[in-house]
Amino acid sequence: MADFTVYPDPVLTQAAAARAVDDGMRAAGVALQAAAASVEAYGLAAVHIGLLEPVVVVSVAGQGAARDYRVMFNPRIVALADEKAFGPEGSVSMPGIEVPIERAEWAEIAFDSAEGHGDTMRLEGFAARVAQHEIDQVNGVFFLNRLSRLKRDTAIRKFHKSQR
């Protein structure tokens, strides 16, 4: 099982700069996919395993289905549905905490392949939620930042209490 970066590590608020896909990014992608598989995560960003790289892994299968991981380099959201819905979200960096976050129902994601070729993918439902969550993390936006201050503070207190 991988060692995960734990909240409130400041690296979780740092954005990973996009760049040409290189060996370091590809190695991060391999490590990230292994880490995600080890805990059956639906998605992870490289920062979760201590690497400030613009790399995410997202399972494009639906919630509850066997994981079908895609490694995405330099991922970015290019279009979002106007329709939004709340759904539970958590993080390996804050184990035991799950809160409802509002996200777009579908997302079109642009990313580079391991070979550096540009690609796009439209994800819907749960997979779209996971991709939006992980791309936020690549951009230094921890999922709690999407909550009101009161709800964020409550989640943080609950997490600190669980860590005692």
Query: Is the pLDDT assigned to residue 148 strictly greater than 80?
Result: yes
Query: Is the pLDDT assigned to residue 55 strictly greater than 60?
Result: yes
Query: The whole model's pTM is what?
Result: 0.95
CB 60 within 8 A of CB 74: no
Q: Is 89 a catalytic residue?
A: no
Query: Is the pLDDT assigned to residue 118 strictly greater than 80?
Result: yes
Across the range 42-54, mean pLDDT stands at 97
**131: its two tokens:** 């991709």
CB 108 within 8 A of CB 77: yes
Per-residue pLDDT, 164: 84
> How many Å apart are CA 142 and CA 158, to the nearest integer?
16
DSSP state of 154: H
Query: Roughly how many angstroms between the first and final C-alpha of the chain, as a whole number?
Result: 22
> How many Å apart are CA 139 and CA 60, to the nearest integer?
20
Q: How confident is the model at residue 65 (pLDDT cuts 50, 70, 90)?
A: confident
Q: Which residues of 110-119 are buried (b: 16+ CB within 10 A; e: fewer)?
A: ebbeeeeeee
> How many Å apart are CA 160 and CA 144, to the nearest integer?
14
What does the pLDDT look like over 80-103, one tens digit per residue? 999 999 999 999 999 999 999 999
- Among candidate residues 83, 98, 102, 134, the one labeled active-site is 134
Closest CA to 154 of 86, 94, 102: 94
Across the range 22-38, mean pLDDT stands at 96
Percent of the chain with pLDDT over 70: 99
